[in-house]
Amino acid sequence: MSSHAKNVTATIPGRSDVQWRQEEAARLLSRSALEVLSQWFKPAGPRLCVETSDNVDEALDALLEEAKPHVVDFLSDRQVPGVVSRIFWQAELYLRNFQQVAGEAPVEEFQQTAKLVEEEVAPQGSQMEAALEAVLARQQFVAACRFGYFLRRSQQRLRLERIMTGAKSLEQYLTDMNAQEQVELVRGASREVVSAAEARATDLFGTVTELLRKSSELELSAEGRVRLSVEAVVFGAALFDAEEEASKHYSLTFSDFGSRH
């Protein structure tokens, strides 16, 4: 690390050198994923100043061709989700409940958010609805990112499985796994990739605290919201590839199960 970078970390209270490097790595992963996606479409701009361009489906076809039906299912309003979506949500809820995702916000942050809602947002009546809608949209974006990452990671594992055991559908492959294996496919392999998804959500929406304080509606067309959801999925898929490439050259903070080495 350069002397300039060290000086920067020294000026930020409560930030260790390790934290700074992990956050910087997360930003680099995010930029790398966006660069890949830009060959197919123009991603949404900061604070959603520009909507996702029309041809986002081209990235979906390129990165998640076989899994596209599962993306459609995940983004639909079906009361009973398909098998792959259900496996993802069961694992995702497990990880949220036990706070085991690398780099996930501590419980104290959620408590502070709840307090902010009670003290600053709730008394504002209809503005609360707009604020909570924006927070929900942010959460949905992150969840869609994680689903795309999960699908891309599962596809890679399935390709190896097919080489050894022959043809098998993605749905059957995931169903044959035990619960622990399913959870570990959903869990971000590195702390940096988890932070990258959050960093992209913050770039587009702002932090949860900012959204609650701002209490303004999202200025997106109905079509723009759909395209943004698809962008979130392909961004997660591209993040998996960016993480894989980065791991060949840099030392990322992998969980024991998620290590690629």
Higher pLDDT, 255 or 13: 255
Q: List pLDDT tens digits, range 233-242.
A: 999 999 999 9
Q: Which residues contact 86 (CB under 8 A, 6 or more apart)?
A: none
User: Which phi-psi region, left, alpha or beta, contains residue 19 (left: φ > 0; alpha: ψ -120 to 50)?
Assistant: alpha
| Claim: this prediction has a pTM higher than 0.85 | no
Asked, for residue 191, whether it belongs to a domain, the answer is: yes
User: What confidence tier does 5 reach under pLDDT thresholds 50, 70, 90?
Assistant: very low
Per-residue pLDDT tens over the stretch 26-41: 999 999 999 999 999 9
Instruction: Tell me, yes or no, whether 107 lies in a domain.
Output: yes
* Residue 168 in domain: yes
Structural domain harbouring 152: 16-247
Rounded-to-integer distance, Cα 246 and Cα 60, Å: 22
- Mean pLDDT for 187-211 is 92
* Residue 85, in any domain of the structure: yes
Coil, helix or strand at residue 150:
helix
How much is the mean pLDDT over the chain?
83
Yes or no: say if 83 and 175 are a contact pair by the CB < 8 Å rule. Answer: yes
**Count, residues in the chain:** 261
The reply to whether 255 falls in a domain is no
Q: How far apart are CA 44 and CA 67, in angstroms?
A: 23
More confident residue, 109 or 64: 64
Distance from C-alpha of 59 to C-alpha of 40, rounded to nearest angstrom: 6
Q: Is 54 exposed, middle or buried (0-12, 13-18, 19+ CB in 10 A)?
A: exposed
Give domain status of residue 80, yes or no: yes
Specify if 7 maps to a domain: no
User: What confidence category does residue 77 fall into, taking pLDDT thresholds of 50, 70 and 90?
Assistant: confident
In tens, the pLDDT along 149-173 reads 999 999 999 999 999 888 889 999 9
User: In angstroms, rounded to a whole number, what is the distance separating the alpha carbons of residues 224 and 198?
Assistant: 20
Give the pLDDT of residue 124. Answer: 58
Most confident listed range (21-25, 76-80, 105-109, 201-205): 201-205
Report the b/e string of 81-107 with b at 16+ CB within 10 A.
Answer: ebebbebbeebbebbeeeeebbbbeee
- 134 Cβ contact partners less than 8 Å away, ≥ 6 residues apart: 205, 211, 214, 216, 217, 218
3-state secondary structure of 245: helix
CB 236 within 8 A of CB 67: no
Please state the domain count of the chain. Answer: 1
The answer to whether residue 97 sits within a structural domain is yes
